[in-house]
Structure 1
């Protein structure tokens, strides 16, 4: 039984879609299922990740790639590619904002089932599974077919494997109390590519904080802004963590992480690390709405409209020791890091039952 993932990653859309698909693929592989990635990206970092994984990947040439207006042609090209590899597909998992119903209808000729990773909250019909970690309530999907299986809420957040066997939060209460207003370890994690260079803007504001605040910048070599930033901020208070293979361990040593309201947020929550949230793309508003129902004052604003005074004022509230402790407990209640395992077991069971009929 083969499961195909249709996702992409690049400097514009970031790497989040790919990484959460890879987490689910790894969990499905552990359930005895083969996974294949259908990609239209030239990112070297993505190819490296797949080469060391147990998963096959297939690429389309540049002139055949999806541009939003060629749904039919693109789907037909993928059918040809899957035919070349003699793939018998039990399930295609789609994590791509440009793919429309027409594409799915055509591709289903070569797949028994379809699944959509749907953090936009869009209503999809004629799909077999919908994943939506930003939604708690089935009522939001009341208009779809009753035969569609829903995987809803942060308990299905698809985190990297290292967060499934996570280190403990290294931030001890007595350490916080030494600095009752400001934390000692802050992390900036604005995604793998950070196209607007929000990291440097925030860093220029954060260095005005007292000397007891140590700042860690988490990013990747795909972020073109990192090399000049490292040269500019040659400072013992600022540490750059680039292409780390131990992200969970690095994150566990922080008191607060400033991040976009995407997958890194869920990963931090699974460690019990409070987050100060920034909206870096439109689909993140649903995560922000869900989180701020229980976590007050954690949303800093949109990356394009932030100002230094407002940013630092809101951050001082979040980083207060009492607030940090409360937010840490709330974070752990929201996300336990086992979402990929949970989703893989559900999917493997459903596929197995169908094949036994």
Structure 2
């Protein structure tokens, strides 16, 4: 699979778009995808950083004709100029399977024109204020799931949506144990993004001057406009440390008892760790999500930075410092929203239209023996007893030569994912499915079912009905088949795929 990502970073835009796209790119690359970035060469661009991560990063012009100078980050770009620049940068690059666009300045007009570069398009958004013409849309914010689908007026009917922090694009290190909530806050971490154009790290320093007992890690870029003033404040406080952008950001977070920061992408990293947070919005698009998350008990929100009285921050720190119960509640409610597997879920969704199942061969005997005997598979099997090797081999050899049985294996660059089996009777088949260890909970079941249907249409085109037998208390499988369009009959699920 070949993927092109169109996103920008700059001192004005921030680094969040590139950061979340880089996380998704990493997940895609693990499954064997080739990923290319295309970014404008704005002041503070991250093209070099992308190259250091091993990606081809194509530079687009800093300025376009007819582009308003000093325009805000939500102002639309001259989309025709961006398409022309992208075409020039790509040169003779082969067509991509997916184009992912994460940009407030590009809308449906750009997306329709960009179909020349890729078979399918995905948009990452969190504004819900402009039309999209894409096949898949992601908004990882809590506000996207807390309201009736805010994108309904802006997308076409066949666009798949992935809404809410269940799909937050987090690096693998955030799939970990929650931090321990101590009786009293000892260590605080402060960060307001990669650039901190609002200078909130410095403002927070001023607010924390009276807390001599707290150890504080301030993380800000080396080119921060208040770097000299912050460095001067640090000198007189041995418990304070000022860092440039750190490599092990998650490690720093796991050592903290309290976080003070913005309402951007770091929100979900904090939530995954169960790290109690005081949130201050530094951009307009952060405010609704931060407010709704606070109403849900996920963090303490103090409002927008440009209207904040620093005494409120002082008071909030003082309250949380000694209130373990409140911090525990914030941690538990935020962590309940995020499991850290969002990037994997999106990588699976992008792979879905392209994944081809292969017929099992004699070389798969051990793989299927171990898969069938895995505890999570036996638990929901009609026969939950372990299968011995001789019985398995006897069944498997007969199955490979059976004219009305097909055993299919799903595989990616990382290895086998799961098995689908079809047993035919007349114009219908019965489907059996299971996933191998480590692949549950990210959407592979849906992918296997849809890929299996493509196989049936090619190899048994006269099949009309697919049936599935599911134990009544197997909630995961019941949900799987319902989401895949199966109707529940008296004793089974079934799906009509050919009604001619």
Alignment of 1:4-153 (within 5 A): 4-42=4-42, 46-64=46-64, 67=67, 68=76, 70-82=78-90, 84-122=91-129, 124-134=131-141, 135-136=144-145, 139-143=149-153, 144-153=155-164
Q: Give CA-to-partner distance per residue, 1:93-142, whole Å, 9 cap, x none.
A: 11111113222222112221111111112353421111011211563334
Say whether the 8 Å CA contact 1:298–1:318 is kept in structure 2.
Answer: no
Say whether the 8 Å CA contact 1:192–1:223 is kept in structure 2.
Answer: no
For 1:280 and 1:66, locate their aligned partners in 2 and report how far apart those are by CA, in whole Å: 28
For 2:288 and 2:162, locate their aligned partners in 1 and report how far apart those are by CA, in whole Å: 16
**Matched residue of 1:233: which SS?**
helix
Deviation at 1:208, TM superposition (A): 1.1
The number of aligned residues is 346
Deviation at 1:268, TM superposition (A): 1.0
For 2:66 and 2:46, locate their aligned partners in 1 and report how far apart those are by CA, in whole Å: 18
Say whether the 8 Å CA contact 1:92–1:114 is kept in structure 2.
Answer: yes
Alignment of 1:168-187 (within 5 A): 168-169=178-179, 171=180, 173=181, 176-177=182-183, 179=184, 183-187=185-189
Q: Which runs of 4+ in 1 moved over 4 A?
A: 42-45, 63-66, 353-357
Say whether the 8 Å CA contact 2:279–2:299 is kept in structure 1.
Answer: no
For 2:131 and 2:283, locate their aligned partners in 1 and report how far apart those are by CA, in whole Å: 21
Q: Give CA-to-partner distance per residue, 1:144-174, whole Å, 9 cap, x none.
A: 433111111101111234324x4652x4x4x
Match of 1:348 among 342, 348, 351: 351
Unaligned runs of 5+ in 2: 68-75, 357-449, 459-500
Q: Give CA-to-partner distance per residue, 1:287-318, whole Å, 9 cap, x none.
A: 21331232177111211111122222233334
Q: State yes or no: 1:160 paired with 2:171.
A: yes
Match of 1:246 among 243, 248, 252: 248
Deviation at 1:191, TM superposition (A): 1.1
Match of 2:337 among 322, 334, 343: 334
After superposition, the Cα gap between the structure-2 partners of 1:296 and 1:207, relative to the gap in structure 1 and judged at 3 Å, is same
After superposition, the Cα gap between the structure-2 partners of 1:339 and 1:262, relative to the gap in structure 1 and judged at 3 Å, is same
CA RMSD of aligned residues (A): 2.4
User: 1:310 is matched with which residue?
Assistant: 312
Deviation at 1:46, TM superposition (A): 1.9
After superposition, the Cα gap between the structure-2 partners of 1:138 and 1:114, relative to the gap in structure 1 and judged at 3 Å, is farther
For 1:69 and 1:52, locate their aligned partners in 2 and report how far apart those are by CA, in whole Å: 28
**Matched residue of 2:259: which SS?**
strand
For 2:281 and 2:35, locate their aligned partners in 1 and report how far apart those are by CA, in whole Å: 32
- Greater Cα radius of gyration, structure 1 or 2: 2
Say whether the 8 Å CA contact 2:77–2:105 is kept in structure 1.
Answer: no
After superposition, the Cα gap between the structure-2 partners of 1:63 and 1:254, relative to the gap in structure 1 and judged at 3 Å, is closer
For 2:299 and 2:18, locate their aligned partners in 1 and report how far apart those are by CA, in whole Å: 30
For 2:339 and 2:134, locate their aligned partners in 1 and report how far apart those are by CA, in whole Å: 27
User: 2:288 is matched with which residue?
Assistant: 286
Moved more, 57-66 or 282-291: 57-66
Deviation at 1:251, TM superposition (A): 0.4
Q: TM-score, normalised by structure 1?
A: 0.89
Structure number with greater CO (CA < 8 Å, separation at least 6) is: 1
**Matched residue of 1:151: which SS?**
strand
